[in-house]
Amino acid sequence: MSIAENLEKIQSTLPEHVQLVAVSKTKPNEQLMEAYDAGNRVFGENKVQELTGKYEVLPKDIEWHMIGHLQRNKVKYIAPFVTLIHGVDSKRLLVEINKQGAKNGRVIDVLLQMHIAIESTKFGFDKAELLEMLDAPEFAELQNVRPVGLMGMASYTDNEAQVRSEFASLKSLFDELKASHFSDASFKEISMGMSGDYPLAIEEGSTMVRVGSAIFGARNYA
Ligand SMILES: *Cc1c(COP(=O)(O)O)cnc(C)c1O
């Protein structure tokens, strides 16, 4: 199937409150343009250099999401234009995004990444760490960065019950934080679900799915 057909098929299964982020990492601009011409405007990339390169040459009404692990020294390159940073996993990164937001006269929307998988290799806060950051006085002073929700990646496994329970844990933490720290309506996103598990993620409360290979085909890292 073509990229346009893949997009249409996936979009037709998404509830209205779920946003599709088309993950275009490693894919050439021509393929992004195929998705663009089919109406897609939200793209996700996981490398700063690739993201800025694509931003520079592709249409300016694209919303770019940074979905990968972000190093502090690279925030400055995406701060002028990025729509949403999914993978904020430390206080130092949040502080840096705030600083670059101020330099660019922007408030940058971010998602706080939680460690929900069994694998220790995956990034993200654990709950205690997150609460410590949110309760620190400096947190309230960050005026140029705005957490609009949580992001998580489930374990890479065929065990559906395991994946489901990891998604459910992110949703329940979201509900808890919404009540305790983020009463503002802008805190509303739960970014979870990829090509292999997005239907499950939606059942467990996802509002944003990051889908790559199911749209663009398998990636070739060679
Ligand atoms: C690559 C990537 C995706 C998309 O993965 P697919 O399995 O191709 O859908 C989603 N989220 C993150 C953080 C990624 O790096």
Q: Probe ligand 1: pick from 6, 10, 65, 67, max atoms within 8 Å of CB?
A: 67
For the chain, how far is it from start to end, CA to CA, in angstroms? 23
Give percent of the chain with pLDDT exceeding 90. 95
Residues lower than pLDDT 50 in the chain: none
CA 155 to ligand 1 centroid distance, Å = 13
Q: Which pLDDT score is estimated for 182?
A: 96
The model carries a pTM of 0.96
CA dist 24 and 6 (Å) reads 13
Q: Which pLDDT score is estimated for 121?
A: 73
- Mark residue 211 as left, alpha or beta (left: phi above 0; alpha: psi -120 to 50; beta: remaining): beta
**Residue 86 Cα: closest atom of ligand 1:** 13
Q: Which pLDDT score is estimated for 150?
A: 98
**Residue 87 Cα: closest atom of ligand 1:** 13
Burial class (CB in 10 A: 0-12, 13-18, 19+), 159: exposed
Structure tokens at 134: 């949110």
210 DSSP β-pair partners: 21
**Residue 46 Cα: closest atom of ligand 1:** 15
Within 6 A (CB) of ligand 1 lie 23, 25, 46, 67-68, 153, 194-196, 210-214
Helix, strand, coil % (nearest 5) of the chain? 40, 20, 40
Q: Which pLDDT score is estimated for 222?
A: 60
Dihedral (CA of 169, 178, 199, 70) sign: negative
Q: Which pLDDT score is estimated for 119?
A: 80
